[in-house]
Chains A and B, each alone.
Chain A
Amino acid sequence: MTATTATIGCSSQSKYPSGDLAIWVFILAELLVFGIFFAVYAFARMNNVELFNEFQQHLDLNAALINTWALITSSYFVVRAVAAIKEGNSQLCVRWLLAAIAMGAVFLVVKSGEYAHHFGQGINLSTNSFYMFYLSLTFFHFMHVIMGMVILAAVAIKAHQGGYSASDNTGVHTGASYWHMVDLVWLILFPLVYVMR
């Protein structure tokens, strides 16, 4: 390894956590919000196990599975985007980011389909505790997917304009970190709300 690559390694790879510190403060705060929501869900379910188990069966497990796949795949694409920019390939980075955003869009479409189904049946926040939590939690996450897509889009635009390079790409790491958080939350939300009984 030459001296030059060693220096680059220092600045872009060994920095931990990667991305801007501010986004990590934000991510931790967001995880705290979801963490509290999950804990409250568990608490409410504990007091009403039968109701939760009964209405959980009305959820569309296949749709949720497709969405899980969509988000995991999108996270993979984001990883590829980070790898691309580390090699200084801005345009490849943009393409991977767009692919990730597209998977986010898949998530939104499928989730909207689920909502349409529920609302069509006249279900709302006041139907029962289970639906209250299901709708609140998933909608709150839904908004985060949109937020994540906006962040990725902003990163993609800057990358397209050549705003990042192999040595200066904190912004890409920052966007990627946030997107992984959105994915991570879903990976807890999915088993918790759809599967576990």
Chain B
Amino acid sequence: MQYQSQKVAIPYFVGAIVLFVAQILFGLIMGLQYVMGDFLFPEIPFNVARMVHTNALIVWLLMGFMGAAYYLVPEEAETELHSPFLAKLMFWVFFAAAGLTVAGYLLVPYSTLADITGNELLPTMGREFLEQPTITKIGIVVVALAFLYNLGMTILRGRKTAINLVLMIGLVGLAVLFLFSFYNPTNLVLDKFFWWWVVHLWVEGVWELILGSILAFVLIKVTGVDREIIEKWLYIIIAMAFISGIIGTGHHFFWIGTPEYWQWWGSIFSALEPIPFFMMTIFAFSMVKQRRRNHPNRVATLWALGASVMAFLGAGVWGFMHTLSPVNYYTHGSQLTAAHGHMAFYGAYVMIVLTIISYAMPLLRGRTAANSERQQTLEIWSFWLMTIAMTLITLFLTAAGILQVWLQRVLDSPLPFMAAQDQLTVFYWMREFAGVMFLIGLLLYIASFFVGDKEPEASVKTIA
């Protein structure tokens, strides 16, 4: 760590991990509800557990991105952050808003929450992933504006690098596209159409820029490869992400009432979306292979490599599986979608946030380069436990999805939805066990911050 103000990243990273734990707990609750329908009913109904599971994910990733930005922007710009106070203040606003929103989901019925928060003044609630009360959404916009202002002023004053530029474009895009969550037309086709402008253009558009720039930053740090080479890769990766990803939004427009050409556009362009992820894998591995030094923080390198592989598998391969419209005609909204969603979010975004935390946290906590050998060993265990667990979850859900599609949509006399669900029970149980394994990995991950943190730093020698 070179600048004192980078320390504002700490609360963001800690807050992100706290919400990560909440996300996983609610995931486990919901996973159990798949097989034991009345588990925790009526205290936590399925729809509420799902809402907390998905919203917590989005919010903690946003927090992770913000922490990452507060850490790497000053270092890249070679100057202190414009206003550390504003950054800290915004963290508490954001964290409190997230906490209150989750409490609202859990304590009162959703419709009551809508009434209390004055949803009828500007109705934005009730849509998947954008369930937050309108005031929370406004809060997110305020936090985002303050955040962008703070970073923008920092960059203007300091060195301009490709990594900062790409990161800023990604973050500005993120904020601008979020504004579509306030647009809630009564026409359902238009509603869905623009809803995807937030959901898809985030994860398959601007978030990829954030992913790319964080990956590039960490790779420069741990490999010592020339910035010029890394930036070049970054540019072509984001160019491909945009070429494929923007029109690729069309793969969500197949069945919502849009004109027929979206079948073609959506299929063709989204079929190319694996390319930037594949490039990222090649990029990460070739940079590590060409490394100029062995960094003592080997677990950060492991996360970076893991993210590039799992993002390609989850977002690229599992996305491609059901992206062509003739295939999607059968698989739409089945457990295959859930399988893809799990591995893609974990591989692309969870792992990149854990990558930057893994790289930055030791430095933020006063280490010169890396955690102790013991801490790293624990973290490596947690890496493999979580990654293997997520792979299992994905495989079980894929099996469930294939069976579901067969029973419910292909058979000559197809089963009704709930009857088909009954046939998938065994896969849901296996998924739940894999989920427990994931939780154990997560607990080990948290333990790695505390167990062995008084021991001396790992050095390159002990690794080689």
Taking Cβ atoms with an 8 Å cutoff, the residues of A that contact B are 20, 22, 25-26, 29-30, 32-33, 36-37, 40, 44, 125-126, 132-133, 136
Query: Is B272 touching A33 in the complex (CB atoms < 8 A)?
Result: yes
Query: Is B232 touching A22 in the complex (CB atoms < 8 A)?
Result: yes
Query: Is A25 touching B236 in the complex (CB atoms < 8 A)?
Result: yes
Q: Can you identify 28 A-B contacts, CB atoms within 8 angstroms?
A: A22-B232, A22-B235, A22-B236, A25-B279, A26-B239, A26-B240, A29-B243, A32-B272, A32-B275, A33-B244, A33-B272, A36-B271, A36-B272, A40-B264, A40-B267, A44-B264, A125-B259, A125-B261, A126-B259, A126-B260, A126-B261, A132-B260, A132-B261, A132-B264, A133-B264, A136-B261, A136-B264, A136-B265
Tell me the smallest distance from the CB of A142 to a CB of chain B, in Å: 14
Query: Is A29 touching B232 in the complex (CB atoms < 8 A)?
Result: no
Q: Taking chain B's interface residues, is the majority helix, strand, or loop, or is none over half, making it mixed? A: helix
A22's partner among B233, B243, B265 (CB-CB below 8 A) is: B233
Query: Is A20 touching B243 in the complex (CB atoms < 8 A)?
Result: no
Taking Cβ atoms with an 8 Å cutoff, the residues of B that contact A are 232-233, 235-236, 239-240, 243-244, 259-261, 264-265, 267-268, 271-272, 275, 279
Cβ contacts under 8 Å, B279 to chain A: 25, 29
Cβ contacts under 8 Å, A26 to chain B: 236, 239-240
Cβ contacts under 8 Å, A22 to chain B: 232-233, 235-236
User: Cα distance A153–B2 when bound, in Å?
Assistant: 39
| Among A33, A36, A44: residue with most chain B CB under 10 A | A33
| Among B240, B259, B261, B272: residue with most chain A CB under 10 A | B261
Query: Is B261 touching A29 in the complex (CB atoms < 8 A)?
Result: no
Cβ contacts under 8 Å, B235 to chain A: 22
Query: Is A29 touching B275 in the complex (CB atoms < 8 A)?
Result: yes
Say whether, besides A125-B259, A125-B261, A36 and B268 are in contact (CB < 8 Å). yes
**Apart from A26-B240, A126-B260, what 5 extra A-B contacts exist at CB < 8 Å?**
A25-B279, A36-B268, A36-B271, A36-B272, A126-B259
Query: Is B243 touching A33 in the complex (CB atoms < 8 A)?
Result: yes
User: Cα distance A37–B268 when bound, in Å?
Assistant: 7
Cβ contacts under 8 Å, B271 to chain A: 36
Cβ contacts under 8 Å, B232 to chain A: 20, 22
A44 and chain B: residue at smallest CB distance: B264
User: Cα distance A193–B236 when bound, in Å?
Assistant: 29
Tell me the smallest distance from the CB of A81 to a CB of chain B, in Å: 22
Query: Is B240 touching A29 in the complex (CB atoms < 8 A)?
Result: yes
Cβ contacts under 8 Å, A40 to chain B: 264, 267-268
User: Cα distance A37–B244 when bound, in Å?
Assistant: 12
